[in-house]
Amino acid sequence: MTSELHRHFSVGPELGRGRFGTVRRCTSLLSGEHFAVKSVDKARLLDDPLDRASLENEPKLTRLAAAGNPSAVQIHAVFEDPLHLHLVLDLLPGPDLLQRITASAPFPEPEAAAVLAALADALAACHRRGVCHRDVKPDNVLFDEQGRLRLADFGSAEFFGDGGRMEGVVGTPYYVAPEVVAGREYDEKVDVWSAGVVLYAMLSGTVPFYGDSAAEVFDKVLRGNLRFPSALFREVSPAAKDLLRRMLCRDASRRLSAEQVLSKYSLLGEFYFSGRHQNLTIFYLPPIHR
């Protein structure tokens, strides 16, 4: 660990681990405030130009996305040494959305709708700032102590500015949009597709495009055949299914924007408590390695 980091923070126990680094609890020596420090191990990503770009982009794009946007994780300090990049972030220690879905999906519709509204709000704010997250999935949806949603992990994010197109196969298999899998240029609506998969998972406890391997999942995503099996969706309202169709629309030009999802949220009056509980699990597939 960097001595510079240790001059300012005492570093505590591990909170989580990702592909490139470890997140630990830390405390400011000056103020006594608690934070999380994400320490990215540079050795794990220096061979790959896209991974290297992500090392440079993560602090920049987290800052840009989070400026004046309380629904994104805030970055408080950055320390760098030859081995690590340390990002000091808001401490968000509660269960993330993946843990919540695994423990208690399907969610009652009002609960799913509330999470979706907060996620769409977070994404709309990022998109207004020209930042596309590109790895929206339940494990990157965290909550603060008051239960407010915070979008985290801008390690795959890209700056598209004002209407720019992006390229590069980035994301996580179950959640990635078809235009990304197809290797085409794409826009920020890839995040809306992923948020649609998240909504589907909250309402049913499973994902819409499932396979045992990444290749099988990609095949299903490319076909984009959206189904609502009656065993899982019997009690899901037509309004929620309609919203899912508009978010998981293969044609990105017809797909809702994050802003439109937010305004559609006000139409979700039909969302109701379904009271179901099924023991379904989302299986973990690792993020895409190009």
Ligand X SMILES: Nc1ncnc2c1ncn2[C@@H]1O[C@H](COP(=O)(O)OP(=O)(O)OP(=O)(O)O)[C@@H](O)[C@H]1O
Sites of contact with ligand X (CB under 6 A): 15-21, 23, 36, 38, 73, 89-93, 96, 139-140, 142, 152-153, 155, 287
Nearer residue to ligand X within complex by CB, 90 or 188: 90
38 marked as part of a ligand binding site:
yes
For residues 107 and 164, give the distance between their C-alpha atoms in angstroms, rounded to a whole number. 36
Q: At what angle do helices 109-128 and 258-265 cross, to 10 degrees?
A: 140
Place of tokens 């896209």: 50
**135 catalytic, yes or no?**
yes
Apex 16 CA angle, 107 and 177, nearest 5: 55
Of 135, 139, 153, 187, which residue is the catalytic one?
Answer: 135
CB burial of 80-109 (b: ≥16 within 10 Å; e: otherwise) equals beeebbbbbbbbbeeebbbebbbeebbbbb
Shortest separation between residue 98's beta carbon and ligand X, angstroms: 8
In the complex, residue closest to ligand X by CB: 18
Nearer residue to ligand X within complex by CB, 34 or 250: 34
DSSP state at residue 76: E
Shortest separation between residue 99's beta carbon and ligand X, angstroms: 8
Nearer residue to ligand X within complex by CB, 150 or 264: 150
Token duo for residue 274: 């379904």
Shortest separation between residue 133's beta carbon and ligand X, angstroms: 11
**Which residues carry out catalysis?**
135
Residues contributing to the annotated binding site for ATP: 38
Residues contributing to the annotated binding site: 38
